[in-house]
Amino acid sequence: MLRGRITPMRHKFISQTILSILLLSLLSSCAPAVTLPPTQDPTATLPPLPEPTVAQPLETFAPLELATPTPPPARTKYILDTTIDYNAHTVSVDQTILYSNLTGEQLNAIVIAVVPNLWRGSFDLTSLTINEEAVTTSTLNGQRLDIPLTSILSAGDTIEIKLQYNLVLPFAEQEDPGISRPRIYGYTSRQINLVNWYPFVVPYINGEWILHDPWFYGEHLVYNTADYEVDVRFTDPATAPIVAASGVPEQLEDATRYTITAARTFALAASRDFQVSSTQVGDVTLSSYYFPFNERGGQGALQASAEAVQIFSQRFGSYPHKSLAIVMGDFNDGMEYSAFFYLSKDFYNLYDGTPANYLTFVAVHETAHQWWFEQVASDQALQPWVDESLATYSERIYYESVHPDLVSWWWTYRIDFYKPDGFVDIPIYEGQGFRPYTNATYFQGAYFLEKLRVRIGDEVFFKFLQDYLSRGRGRIVTANEFFQTLRLNTNADISDLVNQYFRNVYQ
């Protein structure tokens, strides 16, 4: 139940600015790049939905009865002792990885992703040990750190990997969004952003370590779930910035400890300019971090996200964490992380105080990723539609639940304006450009889910989503598993829809 009102922790005079014409730049592959259609009156007469359906009230959907899942084995744990020099844009880290071999196979090597090493001079590894023995045979090439093991790591066993390293954060220069996606990792004039900033063990699936090459758009990383304990301190506590982070904070004597369990990532943003507003949905604390003169947008994003958490918890299954950080990014990008997501500064600048705008539906989209990415993960490089189509369609579920008069507006403004086509199931590497890629993966995916819902009916559709979440929670699923779960919930013939929207045959 949503309770309480949104109250800013700081109150500053907000100057109203009028933005007449502003083209939004690229919004990352989790929330597609936008070229705004002409301003539309959301109350005006709009074309009907493709194959419209009337949503039933939330309370008419009975919870799906599912077998009690078997408790998972111990997860890998990341322990990071982190010191940040905010002014110098540097970070020093002592990191411990308690890696549990849950692959079901014996391992003679470990592969770790070191994403900061993609920027020249950003990553400096000073020490590496395994079970307290120095490692001298590792190889760091780009983002990939290969570590041969001196003895076999049996299935179910755990090893201790310790790393000491320093980060020199790069300036997050915003390049041409048609050529390269906006930078998040690094610093801007108003904030530092630590995303994919620590080395992590990549998934091992079917005898292969999964670490794809980055691309011009889309996400290339795949994550297992893990537990995180992150201590954060600043070299000058007197001028320490406000911090937004994954996980729940606990104040220690000389640091703040953030903990989060069964998470895909740990992200952190810090700024001396942040203002903060918070609200509660049940036992979940949602906090919105925004810059001065953007309080209205900060409140709007918080409200939409709070409503989405409530709706998606009822429709899909419970939200998995005790906190959610909504962070205004000083860049033209939006991205989801565990219990944390960014929204582009341009959306705040364009926010008009109504739910008929990009800030609202992108906030809802990124909130939906706390189900379709955080809980049920997929290969974001090779099968990006598995989470992106569901996150996009979740926007439609939000509007039908909170603003049913705007559902037609959402289809027209969000989807139809771009005239999407193409097959849904393309890898990021075959998208033929960002707009064709997002049109297919996000928007064609939304069309498919809408037609699927009409075909099988609301009750079966939402039971399927609940079942899909239950079966996939904590795992990395495939497109085949998506359709296998669907077929467990309906005997309806959907072969024509699959042939229309997908290039591959799914079993």
Same domain for 384 and 340, yes or no, is no
Collapsed DSSP state (helix, strand, coil) of residue 230: strand
Per-residue confidence band for 63, with pLDDT thresholds at 50, 70 and 90: very low
Residue range 319-332: average pLDDT? 95
Domain final position from 339, 368, 397? 368
Percent of the chain with pLDDT over 70: 84
Same domain for 360 and 407, yes or no, is no
Spatial distance between the Cα atoms of 399 and 356, rounded to a whole number of angstroms: 10
Report if residue 19 sits inside a domain: no
Same domain for 317 and 236, yes or no, is yes
Same domain for 356 and 321, yes or no, is yes
Report if residue 280 sits inside a domain: yes
Same domain for 144 and 248, yes or no, is yes
Per-residue confidence band for 433, with pLDDT thresholds at 50, 70 and 90: confident
Question: Taking each helix axis from N to C terminus, what angle separates 445-456 and 385-402, rounded to the nearest 10 degrees?
Answer: 60
Same domain for 165 and 295, yes or no, is yes
Strands 323-329 and 340-344: parallel
Answer yes or no: are the C-beta atoms of 259 and 228 closer than 8 Å: yes
Report if residue 35 sits inside a domain: no
* pLDDT for res 216: 87
Spatial distance between the Cα atoms of 145 and 116, rounded to a whole number of angstroms: 12
Residue range 262-270: average pLDDT? 98
Give pLDDT tens digits for 330-357: 988 789 999 999 999 999 999 999 999 9
Report if residue 292 sits inside a domain: yes
Which range marks the domain in which residue 146 is found?
77-368
Using only C-alpha atoms, the chain has a radius of gyration, in whole angstroms, of: 22
Q: Which domain CATH number covers 115?
A: 2.60.40.1730
Report if residue 303 sits inside a domain: yes
Alpha helices in 351-478 (DSSP H): 358-368, 385-402, 407-410, 434-438, 445-456, 458-472
- Burial class from Cβ neighbours inside 10 Å (0-12, 13-18, 19+) for residue 21 reads exposed
Same domain for 133 and 206, yes or no, is yes
Domain final position from 368, 394, 420? 368
Same domain for 353 and 423, yes or no, is no
Same domain for 278 and 400, yes or no, is no
Same domain for 317 and 389, yes or no, is no
Give pLDDT tens digits for 64-123: 444 444 455 589 999 999 999 999 999 999 999 999 999 999 999 999 999 999 999 999
Number of domains in the chain: 2
Same domain for 145 and 94, yes or no, is yes
Same domain for 62 and 86, yes or no, is no
pTM listed for this prediction: 0.87
Collapsed DSSP state (helix, strand, coil) of residue 250: strand
Q: Which domain CATH number covers 474?
A: 1.10.390.10
Domain final position from 316, 335, 368? 368
